Amino acid sequence: MLHPPLIPDVLSAAPPLLHPEGLEPRGGLRISSRDSRYLESGDGETFIPVGLNLCFPRFVADPDEGVRRMAGWMRELAGHGGNFIRLWLGHAFFDIEPERAGLFDERALDRIEILLDEAQILDLRVKLTLDHFRTLDETSVAGSFAGAADFSRPQYSLSRGGPAADMDSFWQTPACRTAYLKKLDCLAARFGDHPAIAACELWNEINACSGAGREAWTETMLPELKRRFPHALALQSLGSFCANYMERPYRWLCGLRGNDVVQIHRYLDPGAEWPVCHQSIDVLSADAVRHIRAWAPDRALLLAEGGAVEPHHAAPSTLYEKDTEGIILHDILFAPFFAGAAGSGQCWHWDFYVARHRLWWHFGRFKRAIEGFDPACQQPRPLFRETDRLRLHILSGNGRSVIWIRNKDSDWRTELVPGRTVDTVSGLSLPVPGELAPVAHASAYDPWADTKTRFLPVSGRVVKLPSFRRSLVLTLHHDFSTS
């Protein structure tokens, strides 16, 4: 399937990258000491990840050009309030073992280091995904669209001088585990204390790999990963949560010792088994968080991959062509957090979608929408309510609550498919749900217009809403003297 070209590279004349020699380390991330569903930085401050998958550059032959492109995207994200990205170290651009297992490429290590240093300057935290291959085939096993990642890894095969006869032996044999630990040792020796590294993920969607023994391998490798990157979160990930067969793997992930955060992947996928994956992005994203929360009530959760695809992940969704305003991205960012996740949702299609339409401004709007709301301090209870016109995604906190209000008339089916713009919602009053404490005063932020209404009319338990089009974030300051 052909896709339109990516946006022109604005970095061709960018200044040289800086290096942060002498900068004080920020420290890694850890589970919050005040609320285990959230994260904090080394100084104890609540850290809310706001970012996306920014994994590798596609269609780049010159490594220097690839570094410039990656750095340009990082600067766009940081300049608009983002603070979190993901790099795929198994991709050819970052692969430190391009020829065979155990033979490490200094040039690839240099590329990783340059971008980690740039991330430190930009105050971006980085999740490193260490591998993603699914077979040892000599023939490329790539996705069905131009620029898709290759999921084969012949470097580990016996035919290339590697330790593995097949994927069964990769997961199960001591020689293959030793080879993988050598790779971890190489990365740790170079980057183990790098202050930009916030998390290390053993594998992308390990359930999609061939071979038996993946779960036991993960249980062995997570403590090894933590030993080498002690200041970073240690993570594992699974494929899209879209069908009955994914329930058992996700239950395993929820109970996996040493896995610091439960990561969830979910997409708008017309080919998915579950009908919820065909719904509005806010509905399917929030549902994923609530579903997993039932199995992991006290764990930190993140929607680590989200987006829209053609049926069965055949390609990026053709909806992206029409979505120049970022309707899909907005819901990916907001829905998981307001359903109780530890941060914003993390969009997958960074280049085909976010960079192409220059949607970076959405990250700043999310950050402004939650300003002043510290979830580890507020210890909120996620709630969901509906009216005839609105969906209410609620975080009910100790002293204040925030409600992300979604206009039901606005989603990909009503705007992107027919190519129309939703009408403005005006003149609505919202009864405060009975589970929330009485309201002392209320304010609202419109993330589409970037406008804030500091004092809304409040009459008893009814708040008069300002006009808005697609969504609104309502902040309620509670009055416990009358409760």
Dmax over Cα atoms in the chain, in whole Å?
75
Q: Which two tokens stand for residue 409?
A: 């008339």
For position 450, what pLDDT does the model report? Answer: 98
Q: Which two tokens stand for residue 440?
A: 């002392």
Which one-letter DSSP state was computed for residue 390?
E
- Assess contact for 323 and 353: CB atoms under 8 A: yes
User: What's the order of all strands across the beta sheet hosting 39-41?
Assistant: 29-31, 39-41, 46-47
- Render pLDDT for 239-287 as a digit per residue (tens, 0 to 9): 999 999 999 999 999 999 999 999 999 999 999 999 999 999 999 999 9
Q: Which two tokens stand for residue 462?
A: 């009814």
Give the count of alpha carbons within 13 A of 430, CB side only.
31
Domain ranges of the chain: 29-375, 384-482
Measured between alpha carbons, how far is 361 from 434 in angstroms, rounded to an integer? 35
Q: Which two tokens stand for residue 396?
A: 């009910």
- Render pLDDT for 355-370 as a digit per residue (tens, 0 to 9): 999 999 999 999 999 9
What are the residues whose beta carbons fall under 8 Å from the beta carbon of 328, sequence distance 6 or more? 268, 281, 307, 308, 317, 319, 320, 347, 353, 412, 416
Measured between alpha carbons, how far is 302 from 289 in angstroms, rounded to an integer? 8
For position 249, what pLDDT does the model report? Answer: 98
- Render pLDDT for 70-107 as a digit per residue (tens, 0 to 9): 999 999 999 999 999 999 999 999 999 999 999 999 99
The torsion angle over the Cα atoms of residues 302, 288, 346 and 25, rounded to 10 degrees, is 0
3-state SS class at 107: helix
Give the count of alpha carbons within 13 A of 369, CB side only.
30
For position 481, what pLDDT does the model report? Answer: 65
Task: Provide the pairing of β-strand 125-129 with 197-201.
Answer: parallel
Residue linked to tokens 């939650």: 370
Measured between alpha carbons, how far is 417 from 412 in angstroms, rounded to an integer? 6
* CATH number for the domain running over 384-482: 2.60.40.1180
Mean pLDDT of 34-40: 98
- Render pLDDT for 447-458 as a digit per residue (tens, 0 to 9): 999 999 999 999
Distances in Å between the Cα of 139 and the Cα atoms of 135, 150, 153 are 10, 10, 9
- Render pLDDT for 422-441 as a digit per residue (tens, 0 to 9): 999 999 999 999 999 999 99
More confidently predicted of 24 and 322 = 322
- Assess contact for 237 and 204: CB atoms under 8 A: yes
Q: Where residue 9 falls among pLDDT bands split at 50, 70, 90?
A: very low
Q: Where residue 27 falls among pLDDT bands split at 50, 70, 90?
A: low
As beta bridge partners, residue 406 has 391, 471
Residue linked to tokens 């590294």: 197
| pTM of the predicted structure, to 2 decimals | 0.93
* CATH number for the domain running over 29-375: 3.20.20.80
Measured between alpha carbons, how far is 135 from 150 in angstroms, rounded to an integer? 10
As beta bridge partners, residue 53 has 86
3-state SS class at 398: coil
What is the distance in angstroms between the CA of the first residue and the CA of the last residue of the chain?
59
Which backbone phi and psi does 387 adopt, to 5 degrees? -120, -175
DSSP string spanning 416-468?
A: ITTT--PPPB-S-EEEPPTTSPPEEEEEEEETTTTEEES---EETTEEEPPPB
For position 361, what pLDDT does the model report? Answer: 99
- Render pLDDT for 193-240 as a digit per residue (tens, 0 to 9): 999 999 999 999 999 999 999 999 999 999 999 999 999 999 999 999
pLDDT for 37 beyond 80:
yes
Q: Which two tokens stand for residue 307?
A: 């987006």
For position 273, what pLDDT does the model report? Answer: 98
- Render pLDDT for 145-196 as a digit per residue (tens, 0 to 9): 778 889 999 999 999 999 999 999 999 999 999 999 999 999 999 999 999 9
- Render pLDDT for 123-142 as a digit per residue (tens, 0 to 9): 999 999 999 999 999 876 66
pLDDT for 11 beyond 70:
no
Q: Smallest Cα–Cα separation from 147: which of 6, 307, 312? A: 6
Are domains 29-375 and 384-482 of this chain identical in fold? no
Measured between alpha carbons, how far is 404 from 407 in angstroms, rounded to an integer? 10
What are the residues whose beta carbons fall under 8 Å from the beta carbon of 417, sequence distance 6 or more? 319
For all residues of the chain together, what is the average pLDDT?
93
Least confident of 3-17, 50-64, 148-162, 310-324: 3-17
For position 482, what pLDDT does the model report? Answer: 59
For position 245, what pLDDT does the model report? Answer: 98
- Assess contact for 394 and 463: CB atoms under 8 A: no
Q: Which two tokens stand for residue 115?
A: 């971008």
As beta bridge partners, residue 235 has 201
For position 133, what pLDDT does the model report? Answer: 95
What are the residues whose beta carbons fall under 8 Å from the beta carbon of 399, sequence distance 6 or more? 378, 477, 478
Distances in Å between the Cα of 337 and the Cα atoms of 205, 364, 454 are 22, 15, 22
